[in-house]
Chains A and B, each alone.
Chain A
Amino acid sequence: MCGIAGIFAGPEGSFPARRELEQMAAMLRHRGPDDEGVLAEGPIGLAHVRLSILDPDGGHQPLEATDGSACVTFNGEIFNHVELRAELEARGHRFRTRSDTEVLIEAYREFGDEFVHHLNGEFALALWDRVHRRLVLARDPAGVRPLFYQERAGRLAFASEIKALLVLPEARRSLDADGLAQVFTFWGPLAPRTAFAGILALPPGHLLVARADRSTRIHRYWDWSYPARLPREAPERAPEAYAEELGELLRDAVRIRLRADVPVGAYLSGGIDSASVAALARSLGADIRTFSVSFAERAFDESAHQMEMAQFLGSRHICVETRPEDIAAAFPQVIWHAETPVVRTAPAPLWLLSERVRQEGQKVVLTGEGADEVFGGYDLFKEAQIRRFWARRPDSRIRPRLLERLYSYLEYSPTATPFARDFFGTGLEGAQEPGFGHLLRWRLTQRAWRFFAPDLKAALSRDPVDALRLDLPAGIANWHPLSADQYLEARTLLAAYLLAAQGDRMAMAHAVETRQPFLDPRIIAFASSLPPRLKVAGLKDKVLLRRTMAPILPPAVVWRPKRPYRAPDAASFFCAGDPVDYVADLFSEDSLRRSGLFDPQATLKLFLKCKRQEAIGFADNMAFVGILSTLLLQHHFCRVTAAPIAA
């Protein structure tokens, strides 16, 4: 796991200087503290910082092909590198190292741009083809590893993190109004947009090809896809057959993710997803250490379930207890690494966790990320199904009462109030449209827009929800509604937030590589083709996954209802009614005026409401955390002058 950066100069751009590349690499050193390499060769410059996991002696980068025809800088892992190497050797390729990087470069030589279809891994890479004078950037299908770029001053510059682009003289340091609007809707900016003006993210599953004349072509090589709805949705095979196949797939997905020359550990959340991964790793003979986060507040804590699982595994387990003041203390660093505003504090405990993991000498951990998207684990999916069921008989008084069974773990459940019927009944007439399941969450998050300053509102081009709807797959209307919900969840929350601000960025802040077996492309393909009722059936979720894991895991782990991972939000930043120092500074009237992004008067009212501990709803908490993190982002990366938003 590593960090990559580089510059490709066109006819009008200045050639990358070695010093520039070293400066970019320096901003990424937390991602790869073990080694560093730079290549400057006329119009192309590549940089790499390395976290040694595979072939510590042979994996120095940028790495050249054996015949010198190409050169690559690569962040991530190719988990099927053993099988792919054998295939390439059979086709006559020869290797000098044991590293997956060399497999990558030989795969490109063999398959051209189609090489990405042969990779089972998490990756962001830049490959310079010396023969054809073309630069190829690529990102893994689900978007586990980040890759940002900008095209300015005749140069294409790219990097694993935005901060490495901001050291370049041509970089702008302004926030992007539409990027902020996406954060305050979907919880993260949707690629290609970022929170920064002029800086783009290569979307997951995309290739970018730039040529010497500086023509740039971007194309999607992979997207989440689901079959058209069948007239009858009865499983074609017996559930046991599906369970058997899934068991084999999961086992192999974990097996190839245990490939490393360093020990591999696992995160335990207390739920079935991470427990499945850890148990399969243990059954494959891995002597894994396990790690988890706990909270003093019972509403958020799952440490009893984590300990139960650790005892079942017999793993050496470390639990990092997180107090609200720890979240507040870590938050500025969290935003430095996340490079985007966030509307929840949940990334902060994971930042603290990866710090501890690294202190324990561990570089690699398996996680259960992706299972909820792939196998249908979120309450939102069930909520949408119930609301669609209700929409078929909008006058029913019984149907909406099913919603009361959801969110029982929340102190202030939105289904437990007299106005819940109004809230969840909003938009029932659009029950068959893509986005129906998500619209309530998106609109609830957007309530923070009322705090936007007039200039920020004026700079918005269009409602992000409308823009997203125009960019959906052509066939989505023919998918099962659950498939459309899964697609939107993977495209928005997973890629833009869970794998990004809460995933890669929090782990890599301390050079910890996370590996996600549930995002193995074979599992995604298998799950996409499943009958929907094997995912969500009434109020049961992850039906097939639970059935598959039942023989392996303790019954309590298999059948316990899902509890989403959450952390204390606005309350973290106040101690006995007093704000943490930096929070008080950022929310001062003067600071808010200088920021220019939020209405000072209204924002101060929100601040005081949080200070009085009267902000009990999601909307106020998300607004507060979102505003605070935006102010921190601006403080870290932007010179606040007269124009905080790019014109």
Chain B
Amino acid sequence: MDIKARVRTFILEDLLMVALPTDLADDASLRKLSILDSTGVLELVAFLEQAFGIQVKDGELLPGNLDSVDAIVSYVREKLGFQVAEPQA
């Protein structure tokens, strides 16, 4: 399972647990949807560390890294050392 699929499964099955009326958009704010609250962040971090073998530093606990599926996936990819493709000139 790829990173995005695993992250989405965790968010929907473990954090949210109930079905959303519409599909969760990858760029939707998890805070605004009340999926991610203050302890939900801790659960998310525990999942990321366990599932992907990364260490999340305190300074990286930022909405910019964790507030949407897209943000989480980018953050995990970066932590795993994936190269972000440079836009072609």
Q: Which residues of A contact B (CB under 8 A)?
A: 412, 414-415, 417-420, 422-423, 444, 447, 450-451, 599, 601-602, 605-606, 609, 614, 616-619
Contacts and interface: CB of A to CB of B under 8 A. Distances in A.
A450 B34 CA distance: 11
Interface string B48-87: 0000000000000111000000000000000000000000
A451 B38 CA distance: 20
Given A422-B31, A617-B37, A602 B17 contact: yes
Contacts, number: 60
Contact of B37 (A419, A601, A606): A419
A606 B16 CA distance: 9
A414 B42 CA distance: 10
Contacts of B40: 617
A459 B51 CA distance: 41
Contacts of A602: 17-19
A609 B46 CA distance: 14
Given A414-B38, A617-B38, 17 more contacts: A415-B38, A417-B42, A418-B61, A418-B62, A418-B63, A447-B37, A450-B16, A450-B17, A450-B18, A451-B18, A605-B13, A605-B14, A614-B14, A614-B43, A616-B42, A617-B37, A619-B37
B19 A618 contact: no
A417 B18 contact: no
Nearest to A621: B39
A619 B18 CA distance: 14
Contacts of A450: 16-18
Interface of B: 13-14, 16-19, 31, 34, 36-43, 46, 61-63
Contact of A617 (B18, B39, B61, B63): B39
A157 B11 CA distance: 50
7 contacts: A417-B42, A419-B63, A422-B31, A450-B17, A614-B43, A617-B38, A618-B39
B72 to A, nearest CB: 14
Given A605-B13, A616-B43, A617-B43, A419 B18 contact: no
Given A602-B19, A616-B42, A617-B37, A419 B13 contact: no
Contact of A606 (B17, B39, B43, B46): B17
B18 A599 contact: yes
Q: Which 3 A-B pairs rank lowest in CB-CB distance, beginning with the nearest?
A: A617-B39, A418-B61, A602-B18
Nearest to A602: B18
A419 B41 contact: yes
A605 B38 contact: no
Given A602-B18, A614-B14, A418 B41 contact: yes
A415 B38 CA distance: 8
A417 B38 contact: yes
For B18, B37, B38, which residue has the most chain A Cβ atoms within 10 angstroms?
Answer: B38
Contact of B17 (A414, A418, A609): A609
Q: Output the residue of A414, A415, A418 with the most chain B CB within 10 A.
A: A418
Contact of A447 (B34, B43, B61, B63): B34
A605 B9 CA distance: 12
Contacts of A417: 38-39, 41-42, 61
A447 B63 CA distance: 21
A32 to B, nearest CB: 44
Nearest to B59: A418
A616 B14 CA distance: 12
Contacts of A418: 41, 61-63
Contacts of B46: 614
A166 B73 CA distance: 56
Contacts of B38: 414-415, 417, 419-420, 423, 617
Contacts of A606: 17
A414 B41 contact: no
Contacts of A619: 37, 39
B17 A419 contact: no
A609 B62 contact: no
Contacts of B62: 418
A609 B41 contact: no
